[in-house]
Amino acid sequence: MPVRRIDLPDVPRRIAILKPSALGDIAHSLPVLTALRERFPRAHIAWIVNCAYAPILDGHPDLDDVIPFDRGAIGQGWLRGPLEFIRCLREIRSLQFDVVIDLQGLLRTGLMTGATGASVRIGLASGREGSTYFYTHCVDDQTGVTHAVDRYWRVIEALGDAPKVKTFRVPVLSTARAWVNEQLSRFARPWIVVGVGSRWLTKRWPPDRFAELVNSAQDRFGGTAILVGTPDEAKLARQAQGLLRGPAVQLTGTTTLPQLVAVLAEADVMIANDTGPLHLAVALGRPVVAPYTCTLIDRTGPYGQLQHAVATSVDCAGSYLKTCPHMKCMPELTPARLWPALEMILQRWQRQNAA
């Protein structure tokens, strides 16, 4: 369905994107940034982001500024939290944006959008918690089951002259590339990057399933498993590593965000749950394989590689529940069901790297 055109009163001088979190959502929003740069090449474009994720945007060629705010401080205490949020709102207003695009759609970002004082404040019609009251323009994104990337892209369509191709750009720092080379260059390829964790228990395919799949890959193609993730996922990663028969490197909880990006940029394949690192790998153009349990592939699958995601077939698939009393999807979604996708990717890698 075509979106209603937004006619800007003037060519914008200063544009802000509001997408504070999380990692996968930021990755899904990257084509919007590049399209804005193409549409408004002389505009000053900034991204307002949770400081925890700011490093993922540092050095982006289409950004003039990254504006971090401390989400943790805003949530601390009945006095400190509101005072910090007010300070943040004042800082944003002082930057004098004339166009603001809220891709998060929550009360907090709605308040930020309104506080900018921008004459044009754009958000998605699906915004929650009253965020839409702060917009001057709502973009209709409620068109059935639509991938997150395509939902955010409707803002670009509404602005007119949308590029035909969605472009993902993720900056990879040279210092992080050098770190990856130092850590991994002695290990055999293919490099099979593995992310066993997830904040949602219902998205967390068991470590033994990851290990079984990686063992099949290493038995057939050799190579090295490289485990990545956050510090609180280290226990799961160690469980998976303990079941591997081949070489493995444990990086879970040890990398900075730029280092994680550099690892993913070098992956020959990534196997991961529906999480931020999976979507970063996709944005970096790397092949992935992913189990899908409580989320829908059509909404948050690996964009452009939906055929490499395998969904459970239980009756409650795609429920988006963060907790579940039975978790029957986990035994149903076996490694054998993911193997054909992984085998195809590694066969292609083998052909391309044949001596």
Q: Give the pLDDT score at 4.
A: 85
List pLDDT tens digits, range 158-168: 999 889 999 99
Asked if residue 169 is part of any domain, the answer here is no
Question: Pick from 135, 159, 183: which residue ends a domain?
Answer: 159
Q: Domain check: are 283 and 151 in the same one?
A: no
DSSP-derived 3-state class of residue 231: helix
Instruction: Summarize the confidence of residues 303-332 as an average pLDDT.
Output: 91
- Indicate the pTM of the whole model: 0.94
Using the structure block, give the residue that is written with the tokens 């400081």.
Answer: 51
* 74 pLDDT higher than 90: no
Q: Which domain holds residue 35?
A: 14-159
Smallest CA-to-CA distance from 115 within 90, 136, 143 is with: 90
Find tokens 């943040």 and name the residue: 88
Are residues 151 and 212 both part of a single domain? Answer: no
Tokens of 138: 């709502």
Residues 144 and 293 in one domain: no
Same domain, 184 and 46: no
Number of domains in the chain: 2
Residue 79 pLDDT > 80, yes or no? Answer: no
Listed residues 109, 134, 159: the one ending a domain: 159
Q: What is the pLDDT of residues 207-231, one digit of tens each?
A: 999 999 999 999 999 999 999 999 9
CATH number at residue 208: 3.40.50.2000
| Residue 321: per-residue pLDDT | 86
Q: What are phi and psi of 123, to 5 degrees?
A: -150, 175
Segment 123-130 long-range contacts (CB within 8 Å, at least 24 positions apart): 124/151, 124/152, 124/154, 124/155, 126/151, 127/102
* Cα gap 28→66, rounded to integer Å: 17
Q: Is residue 167 part of a domain?
A: no
Query: Which distant-in-sequence residues (6+ apart) come within 8 Å of 182 by Cβ?
Result: none
Q: Are residues 319 and 210 in the same domain?
A: yes
- Residue 29 predicted with pLDDT over 90: yes
CA distances from 89 to 124, 192, 332 (A): 21, 43, 48
Q: Are residues 92 and 195 in the same domain?
A: no
Mean pLDDT of the chain: 93
Per-residue pLDDT tens digits for 250-282: 999 999 999 999 999 999 999 999 999 999 999
Q: Are both 202 and 313 inside the same structural domain?
A: yes
Question: For residues 138 and 124, is the Cβ–Cβ distance under 8 A?
Answer: yes
Pairing of strands 269-272, 191-195: parallel
Q: Is residue 6 part of a domain?
A: no
Same domain, 140 and 193: no
pLDDT value of position 123: 95
Residues 112, 215, single domain; the answer is no
Domain assignment present for residue 101? The answer is yes
Q: Which residue has the tokens 């059935």?
A: 144
